[in-house]
Homo-oligomer: A and B are copies of this chain.
Amino acid sequence: MKQSQYKIKTLKEAPKDADNVSTALLSRAGFIDKLAAGIYTFLPLGYRVLRKIENIIREEMDALGGQEILMPALHPKENWEKTGRWGSLDVIFKVKSRASQDYALGSTHEEIVAPLAKGFINSYRDLPLYLYQIQTKFRDEPRAKSGLLRTREFSMKDLYSFHTDENDLDRFYEKAQKAYDKIYKRVGIGKETFKTYAGGGSFSKYSHEYQTLTSAGEDEIYFCEKCQVAINREIIDEEKKCPECSAVKDKLAVYKAIEVGNIFKLGTKFSHPFELSYLDKNGQKQEVVMGCYGIGPSRVLGAVVEVRHDERGIIWPEEIAPFKIHLILLSREAKVKKLADKLYDDLIKEGAEVLYDDTDDTAGVKFANSDLIGLPYRVVVSDKTVEKGGVGLKKRRDSAEKIVKVKEIIKLMAK
């Protein structure tokens, strides 16, 4: 993408209401634009990252055997009345229609997926079944804040699993955890993200959150070094020890963290009101046992920036960077420009993702913007690098630039 054609507007100052690092950097670097409190537009760079995160999640859900569907955001009131949550879940937006009944704007989809699954499930042979979607959710958040971390409209992957019994749910619940570990590793926050014990509702003792440790987090979690798991405040206040090794609360470290996912054994909580059942091997009707597994790609995007940045800007992990290479031309010489143009074309031909700063900005502006945007590799073509026989290569997280021959850079950067 040539910046002469696709203008990226960066800002010197963060918007005044940016109340954390990720919002400041993502706004300054031209990834997001705030429309209203808790409501953001994804600009071209930001949308590229969002789609990459969504695709990683999609791949891991497919590998689990998940089938991708797309459920609506408009939910009939009657579905939510059936579970009693029309009145009790106060973050659901309610929509009046001139033409029809009232709707809820989906903040979660158990009320939709349970009756939907009735069309798929008759006998034990139809189970297990795994349905997921990547879809826009809405929450009437009383305190929208922290940029992408707490919004009123956000991208969400929600997987729902359907089982004959609790044992089968338990088996899948373990597998889903491995998929979640892979996702956090691939998006670049694997080391900072931990499975966290959380309240379980009526069906199981615990549910689990995934929490990413960062000083910007609004959650406080207790961390057991020995088990490499975390415990949320609610559980620790009750149990006062690690649920795995029984280490007492005082032995646990306390960290700030951002919740970046949650998984939950639902049991028959939703299959019961919607009469979602199956015929077992003996022809007996049984209630289906369910699990649900959420992860918010837009919130993950914010969390990655909270963890991966320095004082100059964002440091994107390679697998979700909007582009791999920031190619920067620093010359008014036609010969040098020609060389940079050809390098751009050759890299594109090799399948590399390149952002090409071919604008007339000064070197200072180009370098500052490049650090702010934070692509993994910076490749500089200038009179000086050409004199030295090549281009200047620097990783975003390193400080030293080295001269590399043009041929070699193409080999290094090929997809």
Residues of A within 8 A of B (CB): 5-7, 9, 33, 35-44, 47, 50, 65, 67-76, 90, 93-101, 103, 105, 112, 116, 119-120, 126, 129, 136, 138, 140-144, 152-153
A142 CB contacts on chain B under 8 angstroms: 98-99
Q: Are A37 and B70 in contact (CB under 8 A)?
A: no
Q: A36-B76, A99-B143 are in contact. List 7 more A-B contacts (CB 8 A).
A: A36-B74, A41-B116, A43-B69, A93-B95, A93-B103, A94-B96, A97-B140
Return the contact of A42 from the options B5, B9, B70, B126 (Cβ within 8 A).
B70
Q: Are A144 and B70 in contact (CB under 8 A)?
A: no
Q: Are B50 and A9 in contact (CB under 8 A)?
A: no
Q: Are A100 and B152 in contact (CB under 8 A)?
A: yes
A42 CB contacts on chain B under 8 angstroms: 69-70
Q: Are A72 and B140 in contact (CB under 8 A)?
A: no
Given A33-B119, A119-B33, A152-B100: A40 and B141 within 8 A (CB)?
no
Q: Are A74 and B138 in contact (CB under 8 A)?
A: yes
Return the contact of A71 from the options B9, B41, B101 (Cβ within 8 A).
B41
Cross-chain pairs A/B with CB under 8 angstroms, 20 sampled: A7-B120, A7-B129, A35-B75, A39-B72, A40-B72, A41-B69, A41-B70, A42-B69, A43-B69, A44-B68, A44-B69, A50-B70, A73-B138, A74-B153, A94-B96, A95-B95, A96-B96, A97-B152, A98-B142, A99-B142
Q: Are A35 and B140 in contact (CB under 8 A)?
A: no
User: CA separation between A43 and B113, bound complex, in Å?
Assistant: 11
